[in-house]
Structure 1
Amino acid sequence: GLRESQNGAGWRALSGEVCRAQQKASAAHVSSLWPLLRPPVGEELVGRCWPKASPLLFFPDGLSFEASLPNVHGRAGVVLADECLVVACNGLTGSRWHGSVQLHRSPSSVGSGECLASQVADSTVAALVVLTPTSFLAGLDSGALELLRLSKEGEGAPEIESLFYQCDHDAGLTSLALSTDGCRLASTGWDHSIKIWDLRSMQCTKTYVSAHADVVWKVAFSADPHVFISCGRDGQVRSWDIRLSRPATILGHCPSVPRALDWQPQSPSTYAVGLECGQVVVRDLRQPGSDVTLLRPHRRPIHRLLFCPVRPSWLASCADDCLVALADTSRTKDHLVYKSQEHTEFVRGLAWDSGRLLSSGWDGRVHVHAGMAPSMQLASGEA
């Protein structure tokens, strides 16, 4: 979607009764922007909207109307070791987006209005990363990185408190990734940059100002804590070494714009890239020009990929087709082993926990996909 700071225009999102015939032309699934000329307002744009929702209209002259959009929950969430769920809840009230981080005892309480603790953010929350069972980092659409901690005094209710806040990105954050040794954090943003943070001092130690020629969507560390990969809207996947000032490698050509990626656990060279066309390619750094495996789990842009930490060949994915899929990359054929249609809106997050796959979406739900691997042990991931 468009942001108020983009292109120097005060774009505002609105939803209301559609009266004009040309405005009714927008269908339930809109993936493009069309100019609708109507003086004196000028150009109106109809933006992407989710299934069963009203059209989104953007007015460059700043006009706004009361919106009637559903609340958006779970763009980012994590499973903590104390069996609680931390979920980022983002919503639209009127023409203003707002975000918060909430602590829930179980996935079923998400969206009910009841939570164990909550912390309001200064903007919507784009990503969460677990540091310890009681502390985590939030990446915000304001461009800030915020350190949050879970605290409890005596028999009182738990609280989420802010310990650190710093706005280093010039635009909203898009993803966060923790190095395998837990000492570094990588953040990416709409400002085309990648930043490396020292978690011991909470200082930004390195900035790749023009890491990509457009928005940097995702970043993921390898088993080597000095090496990570990134993908952007410029269509490139790049490999980086923090000991070097420039990208170590530009990793081949993708058949579509890369939107998500993840590094296979314990592997020094295998990673997966999710594409805008709905395909997933599994590649090896040692063979940058070829695909090890090609998967077709979705028909719309992929938003998130997540390998299972205790069964590394299992790769979960979610996309704008409202599906959650699980593929076994070790198979030579019939890779898809599970697919769920439980969500009714876009799916935005995934996490592994004790053999269960959890997913979150714009329908305000966190769904548990149980029974896929009973012998698995506790693991966690971004959702």
Structure 2
Amino acid sequence: MTLRHYAAIAALALATGLPADAARADMTGHGAMVNAVAVSADGKRLLSASWDYTVRLWDLGRQSELKVLDGHTASVNAVVFLPDGKSALSASWDHMVIRWDLNSGREIARLTGHVNNIAGMALSRDGRRLATASWDRTVKLWNLSTNALERSFEGHDANVMQVAFAMDDKQLVSVAYDRTVRLWEVASGRELAVMTGHQASVNAVAVMPDGKTAFTGSTDGAIKRWDLAAQRESGRLPGHGSFITSIAISKDGRYALSGGGDRLMRLWDLKEGRQLKQFAGHEKPVWSVAFTPDGKRAVSGGYDTVIKVWSLETGALIPAPKS
């Protein structure tokens, strides 16, 4: 599958709007869809990535914009804070990863090596390595001490959409338009398993804190659970009534969030395998979701260009505090 397939999903997204008087988000500023959101380890700041080519840094408590990080020349699809909290990474359709100094808003370095769009990325638990997923059908591993490319993982037959570290950072899990979930050995680059079951492109993957279980979301609307040690599907969640764009797992591993083309973010109890809440308010599909570290709030970014902050206890939007 190619850009035409992705454009078809985008066209479907545009056709699923809510009435103009639907609830508005408190965090606005992006000029196009919000592809990714990431919350800092202390829960005080938020990074967002957009199709408007920018990364934005926000004060999450005040829901106010702090900086616009401008350096990419195409849609920015993924963002992550580095462990020091002072720097961050962003990945883009311009084939590059940019490393940012968050205090100054300036670039520190550029990681180059992909020859097509970078759709997703993941940071190792120790913060020393970065994995990137690209439409050049590869996953690449980077050493963040040197910003050098360590290894490429080849085997997918179509655009790779997302990647995650697993099994104590000894393995990678990648998902792609070829409908597969693949496991890789980090040390050697060897493909360990090709797991199938989804009926359409697999767009999202998240790994449990213990590193042994992954959840994937697909255009087929399904959320599947995978036992990574046994290398097989081990269950599923009811899913969405439309394509799934993103999945996040809480720090304690008890809950998951998912976003989809039905304009909803959903909260799941992973032990019981059931939905606890659904969050409605975006006017277009929910493209990105994240937990805050304390597990009390969630953040969603939408195709409608806005970012929303939610109370997981009440299911209500959290408004920006009055100045």
Give the C-alpha shift of residue 87 in structure 1. 1.7
TM-score normalised over the length of structure 1: 0.71
What's the counterpart of residue 116 of structure 1? 66
The answer to whether the aligner puts 1:297 opposite 2:239 as a matched pair is yes
What is the correspondence of 1:221-260 to structure 2 with a 5 Å cutoff?
Answer: 221-260=165-204
Change (3 A) 1:287 1:255: farther
Asked if structure 1 preserves the Cα contact closer than 8 Å seen for 2:13 and 2:261, the reply is no
| Unaligned runs of at least 5 residues, structure 2 | 18-29, 315-323
1:275-299 CA distances to partner (integer Å, 9 max, x unpaired)?
211111112124334x432212301
Does structure 1 retain, via aligned residues, the 8 Å contact 2:160–2:174? Answer: yes
Shift of 1:85: 1.9
Structure 1 residue runs of 4 or more that deviate by more than 4 Å after TM superposition:
107-110
Instruction: Establish whether residue 186 from structure 1 lines up as the match of residue 131 from structure 2.
Output: yes
1:102 to 56, 71, 82: 56
* Structure 1 gap segments, 5+ residues each: 7-12, 14-29, 33-46, 54-69, 92-98, 152-158, 374-383
Q: 1:162 aligns with which of 83, 86, 107?
A: 107
What SS does the corresponding residue of 1:71 show, helix, strand or coil? coil
* Counterpart for residue 319 of structure 1: 260
Return the alpha-carbon distance in structure 2 between the equivalents of residues 52 and 222 of structure 1: 35
Contact in 1 for aligned 2:13/2:284 (Cα 8 Å): no
1:256 deviation in Å? Answer: 3.7
Q: Which of 1 and 2 has higher RCO (CA within 8 Å, sep 6+)?
A: 2
Q: Aligned letter for 2:286?
A: V
- Pick closer, same or farther for the CA change 1:31–1:357 going to 2, 3 Å: closer
Q: Find out whether 1:278 has 2:221 as its counterpart.
A: yes
* Aligned residue number for residue 37 of structure 2: 77
Contact 1:71 1:362 in 2 (8 A): no
Match of 2:78 in 1: 127
Shift of the alpha carbon at 1:320? 1.4
> Taking structure 1 as reference, are residues 286 and 85 closer, same or farther at Cα in structure 2, changes over 3 Å only?
closer
Distance 2:297 2:13 in 1: 30
Partner-residue secondary structure (3-state), 1:72: coil
Kept in 2: contact 1:82–1:133 (CA 8 A): no
Show the counterpart of 1:142: 94
Contact residue 304 and residue 319 of structure 1 kept, 8 A: yes
Question: 1:324: how far off?
Answer: 0.3
Distance in 2, matches of 1:281 and 1:294, equals 4
In structure 2, what is the Cα distance between the partners aligned to 1:76 and 1:368?
14
Measured at CA, do residues 233 and 52 of structure 1 come closer, stay the same or move farther in structure 2, by a change above 3 Å?
closer
Q: Which moved more, 1:129-138 or 1:255-264?
A: 255-264
Q: State the Cα RMSD in Å.
A: 2.6
Q: Does structure 2 conserve the Cα–Cα contact (< 8 Å) formed by 1:194 and 1:211?
A: no
State the one-letter code of the partner of 2:60: S
Deviations 1:135-157 (A, max 9, x none): 11000110001000112xxxxxx
- SS at 2:35 equivalent: strand
Deviations 1:298-324 (A, max 9, x none): 0111111111012x0311100111110
Q: Number of residue pairs matched? A: 296
Confirm whether residue 287 of structure 1 aligns to residue 239 of structure 2: no
- Provide the C-alpha distance between the structure 2 equivalents of 1:273 and 1:90, rounded to a whole number of angstroms: 23
The question of 1:218 aligning with 2:141 is answered no
Is contact 2:43–2:60 with CA below 8 Å preserved after alignment?
no
* Matching residue of 1:175: 120
2:198 and 2:220 in contact (8 A); partners too: no
* Identity percentage of aligned residues: 22
Asked whether the equivalents of residues 180 and 223 of structure 1 are also in contact (C-alpha less than 8 Å), the reply is no
Give the Cα–Cα distance (whole angstroms) in 2 for the partners of residues 315 and 288 of structure 1.
Answer: 21
Q: How far does residue 202 in structure 1 lie from its aligned partner after superposition?
A: 0.8
Partners of 2:44 and 2:61 within 8 A in 1: no
**2:119–2:133 CA contact under 8 A, matched in 1:** yes
* Structure 2 CA distance for aligned equivalents of residues 135 and 31 of structure 1: 32
Counterpart residue number, 2:285: 346
User: Conserved in 1, the CA contact under 8 Å of 2:50 and 2:77?
Assistant: no
- Residues 243-280 of structure 1: CA deviation (Å, up to 9, x unaligned): 2232011124334432211111124x211111211111
Q: Distance in 2 between the 1:85 and 1:323 partners? A: 21
Q: CA deviation at 1:200?
A: 0.8
Q: Could you say what secondary structure the match of 1:201 adopts?
A: coil
